[in-house]
Amino acid sequence: MKVYMSIDLEGICGTTHWDEVTRGGERYHEFQKQMTAETAAACNGALKAGATQIYVRDGHDSAKNIIAADLPEPALLIRGWSRHPYMMMQELDSSFDAALMIGYHSLGGSPGNPLAHTMSNSRVVSVSINGLETSEFLINSYTAAREQVPVVFVSGDQALCEHASSIIPALQTAAVKTGIGDSTVNLHPRRVCREIEEKVSSALSGDLKSCLPILPESFDVRITYTSCMEAYKNSFFPGATLEQDNMIRFESTDYFEVLKLFLFTL
């Protein structure tokens, strides 16, 4: 069994403020270690369920956060950004049996996590696909769907887990914290790791095919920016139009074209 894991930091147990998820921040190291511990727990759960190959994609900021030596040996770690349009799902292809997402966070503009955002925290207000407000979870699940890879498990904040279940009802979730205003209420970090290991093992032992996301046949994408200048510039991306002063629109029947738009405009 070949398993893919995409890892973020804003949905890792404890993370609450930007200095905690930004390299150089005073408490960054503590949460870099917890990100690594939750990833290792997911790897151990996968190994228990019979995984023979595990690709771990560090998908946060520099993509150089996870401490490789603390992962079990079968794990391969993808660091840095190749700038392939799959971004947080780089190296995913149809040879994988399942994909998992660890440390994922609520979408931009939502109250579920003080660190909520969609792709760019400072430039992007919101992204919608076919009228649905879009998270990094949805963007990356559609990438998995494009490769026919089921998304069987997600961990992150409570609101993100509910959002993920609304998209893929059969997937298993582990909520590690709840966001309230500019605060979070967190489970104990060791309990979180135990739950992730158990639930990943159970998810990978279940009916994987029931967790295959449905890829729409066409895509009507709208991106709202914090600045009108940003929208104006990005409206010149091939196929994009300026829908409102701070919003661009892009339509396609090919999700890879949508991912190329995201690569250049988010």
Q: Shortest Cβ contact with Zn ion: which residue? A: 60
Stretch that binds Zn ion, among 2-10, 76-84, 174-182, 216-224 (CB under 5 A): 2-10
Site for Zn ion in 79-108 (CB under 5 A): none
Rounded Cα gap, residues 43 and 193, in angstroms: 11
Site for Zn ion in 122-151 (CB under 5 A): none
Smallest distance, Zn ion to C-beta of residue 77, A: 16
Residue 13 and residue 38 in contact, taking contact as beta carbons nearer than 8 Å: yes
Smallest distance, Zn ion to C-beta of residue 60, A: 4
Q: Report the residue number, 196 or 212, with the smaller CB distance to Zn ion.
A: 196
Q: Report the residue number, 60 or 222, with the smaller CB distance to Zn ion.
A: 60
Smallest distance, Zn ion to C-beta of residue 155, A: 14
- How far is residue 141 from each of residues 138, 154, 158, measured CA to CA in Å? 5, 11, 18
Smallest distance, Zn ion to C-beta of residue 96, A: 22
Smallest distance, Zn ion to C-beta of residue 9, A: 5
Beta bridge partners of 104: 156
Q: Which of 3, 4, 7, 8 binds Zn ion (CB under 5 A)?
A: 8
Stretch that binds Zn ion, among 5-13, 27-35, 220-228, 235-243 (CB under 5 A): 5-13
Q: Report the residue number, 11 or 150, with the smaller CB distance to Zn ion.
A: 11
Q: Report the residue number, 8 or 195, with the smaller CB distance to Zn ion.
A: 8
Residue 147 and residue 92 in contact, taking contact as beta carbons nearer than 8 Å: yes
Smallest distance, Zn ion to C-beta of residue 116, A: 11
Number of residues that bind Zn ion (CB under 5 A): 4
Smallest distance, Zn ion to C-beta of residue 32, A: 12
Stretch that binds Zn ion, among 9-17, 140-148, 158-166, 216-224 (CB under 5 A): 9-17
The two most distant CA atoms of the chain are separated, in Å, by 52
Site for Zn ion in 20-79 (CB under 5 A): 60
Q: Report the residue number, 60 or 199, with the smaller CB distance to Zn ion.
A: 60
Residue 149 and residue 213 in contact, taking contact as beta carbons nearer than 8 Å: no
Binding site for Zn ion (CB under 5 A): 8-10, 60
